[in-house]
Chain A
Amino acid sequence: MSGLTKSPWIIHYDASSCNGCDIEVLACLTPLYDVERFGILNTGNPKHADIFVVTGSVNEQNRQVIKNIYDQMPKPNVVIGVGICACSGGVFKECYNVAGGVGQVIPVDVYVPGCSVRPEQIIDGVVKALGILEEKRAAFAAESKKGTDTGANADAKKDGGN
């Protein structure tokens, strides 16, 4: 088993939720649910994170922010949309400033619908995400092995900036 699935670190971004789902995400850290049992830590820094947890619907103001955060997460990583707003825009879907769910901006691996989501559901979503993370890790390991052989990483350097 890889280290990745035993130590998934999370960054949580509140796109524009009503804070209901945010409270539930934090509830996962409380003694009742204690996600640190699984080595899960809330880092607050995309550069340290493996799992991107987004709550709330995406609007025009934070579209770029979500993209940037996702971009700054080292591979392999997964994205979880937590709450119905993050999945589809929820009740805000038709608002003039709302683009919709997180999937509009970045590829999402796991959707956890609910309003608001229960902590058990979130943990369940994260466990699902771990399976995907493991697949991605295997793929990444194979790719980077090939990459270092051919020096294909050179073009990765070009897309600096955020």
Chain B
Amino acid sequence: MIDTATASAFFTSGISQVIGALLFILLAPLVGGIITGLDRKITARMQGRVGPPVLQPFYDIKKLFEKEKMVVTTAENFWVFAYLVFIVISGMLLFANSDLLLVIFALTLAHVFLILGAYSTGSPYAHVGAERELIALMSVEPMIIVAAVGLYMVTGSFETYGIIVSSTAPILLIPCLFIGMVYILTVKLGKSPFDIATSHHAHQELVKGLTTEFSGSTLGMIEIAHLYELVFLLGFLFLFFGLAAPLIGIVVIAAVYLLEIFIDNAASRAKWQFVFKGCWAITLVLGFLNLFALYFVR
């Protein structure tokens, strides 16, 4: 569809990395905000409501920065800020042709910072939220690494541009890994039934879990990071299609996101045991089978 020779010429030049990184930093919050707004709108429609304006996520963030800067300990801001910075860095690296494994490690680091922020408040609710977020992190980590390895085995490159200029869409060879990624996407997006650490839906048993003690601009930073992370995750999914099938990729990803919204509305929160066991079982079965098969296909 797109001339791969021209594309690879562009993507191997250093300037494309700078452009990729800059575009991510500037546009990701906008794109992420609009997707989140649409998400809330669609959610409302699924429930027979009108729903908030599409720009609601931006209003929320603006509001949070207008509020009093209230903290339990000033250290919490440091951790949350580090979380934001590293979410941005990992996304930036993803869009600037870095090694996919290093990108994943940067993402893990970011989440560790968020969890540490919750710990640092010394609050019982945040503590349980932090432990659960940690379980969620442990649940999804293997699948992401396996997916990265699968992408490498298909395209011969760990670098993201190397992956997207591949002449065949990786998903053709690693469909199971894509399904696995879709499964853990629910955890990563914090959607029901896997919203064990903190929830967008009204109350939950842990007050607000992980984010209980964060308010005002601290919470605002977390919300911004969520927007970046959303774009990061969708970008990661796009690697399964690459430039070999960009339009199909966008359509499939949109469909996947709609599915996530549907599941979010249709499911009640699962126990963390289920989240953990489910993710690992999926990774073990789908991940291993697909990787093992790849050795023979390749």
User: When A31-B48, A39-B56, A42-B202 are in contact, do A137 and B208 touch as well, CB less than 8 Å?
Assistant: no
Q: Hey, which chain A residues are within 8 Å of B215, CB to CB? A: 47-48, 74
> How many angstroms from the CA of A2 to the CA of B56 in the assembled complex?
13
> How many angstroms from the CA of A39 to the CA of B60 in the assembled complex?
8
Q: Are A44 and B53 in contact (CB under 8 A)?
A: no
A74-104, CB < 8 A from B: 74-76
Q: Are B66 and A45 in contact (CB under 8 A)?
A: no
> How many angstroms from the CA of A3 to the CA of B48 in the assembled complex?
26
> How many angstroms from the CA of A39 to the CA of B53 in the assembled complex?
8
Q: Hey, which chain B residues are within 8 Å of A3, CB to CB? A: 58-66
> How many angstroms from the CA of A38 to the CA of B53 in the assembled complex?
8
CB-contact partner of A48 in B51, B65, B208, under 8 A = B208
Q: Hey, which chain A residues are within 8 Å of B216, CB to CB? A: 74
Q: Are B51 and A34 in contact (CB under 8 A)?
A: yes
> How many angstroms from the CA of A4 to the CA of B59 in the assembled complex?
8
Q: Hey, which chain B residues are within 8 Å of A137, CB to CB? A: 66
Q: In angstroms, how far is the closest chain B Cβ from the Cβ of A24? A: 16
CB-contact partner of A74 in B47, B67, B202, under 8 A = B67
Q: Hey, which chain A residues are within 8 Å of B204, CB to CB? A: 44
User: When A36-B44, A74-B216 are in contact, do A45 and B63 touch as well, CB less than 8 Å?
Assistant: no
Q: Are A34 and B213 in contact (CB under 8 A)?
A: no
0/1 interface trace, chain A 38-55, chain B, CB 8 Å (1 if under): 110111110110100000
0/1 interface trace, chain A 45-69, chain B, CB 8 Å (1 if under): 1011010000000000000000000
CB-contact partner of A45 in B62, B64, B69, B207, under 8 A = B207
Q: Are A75 and B63 in contact (CB under 8 A)?
A: no
Q: In angstroms, how far is the closest chain A Cβ from the Cβ of B165? A: 42
Q: Hey, which chain B residues are within 8 Å of A76, CB to CB? A: 67-68
> How many angstroms from the CA of A42 to the CA of B203 in the assembled complex?
8
Please classify how large the interface on chain B is, using the bins under 10, 10 to 19, 20 to 34, 35 or more.
35 or more
Chain B minimum-CB-distance residue to A140: B68
Q: Hey, which chain A residues are within 8 Å of B203, CB to CB? A: 42, 44
Q: Hey, which chain B residues are within 8 Å of A50, CB to CB? A: 63, 67
> How many angstroms from the CA of A48 to the CA of B202 in the assembled complex?
12
Q: Hey, which chain B residues are within 8 Å of A47, CB to CB? A: 70, 208, 212-215
Q: Hey, which chain A residues are within 8 Å of B69, CB to CB? A: 74
B34 within 8 A of A: no
From B58, B68, B207, residue with most partner A Cβ within 10 Å: B68
B266 within 8 A of A: no
B50 within 8 A of A: yes
Q: Hey, which chain B residues are within 8 Å of A75, CB to CB? A: 67-68
Q: Are B59 and A39 in contact (CB under 8 A)?
A: yes
> How many angstroms from the CA of A79 to the CA of B64 in the assembled complex?
18
A37 within 8 A of B: yes
A7 within 8 A of B: yes
CB-contact partner of A31 in B47, B63, B208, under 8 A = B47
A128 within 8 A of B: no
Q: Are A7 and B44 in contact (CB under 8 A)?
A: no
Q: Are B213 and A7 in contact (CB under 8 A)?
A: no
B219 within 8 A of A: yes
A19-43, CB < 8 A from B: 29, 31, 34, 36-39, 41-43
Q: Can you list 9 A-B contacts (CB < 8 A)? A: A3-B62, A6-B63, A7-B59, A36-B49, A37-B49, A42-B203, A43-B202, A74-B67, A137-B66
- List 7 A-B pairs, minimum CB-CB distance, nearest first: A3-B62, A3-B63, A44-B203, A47-B215, A74-B68, A6-B59, A75-B68
Residues on A close to B: CB < 8 A?
2-4, 6-7, 29, 31, 34, 36-39, 41-45, 47-48, 50, 72, 74-76, 137, 140-141, 144
> 8 more A-B contacts (CB under 8 A) besides A3-B61, A76-B67?
A6-B63, A39-B56, A39-B59, A39-B60, A44-B204, A50-B63, A74-B216, A76-B68
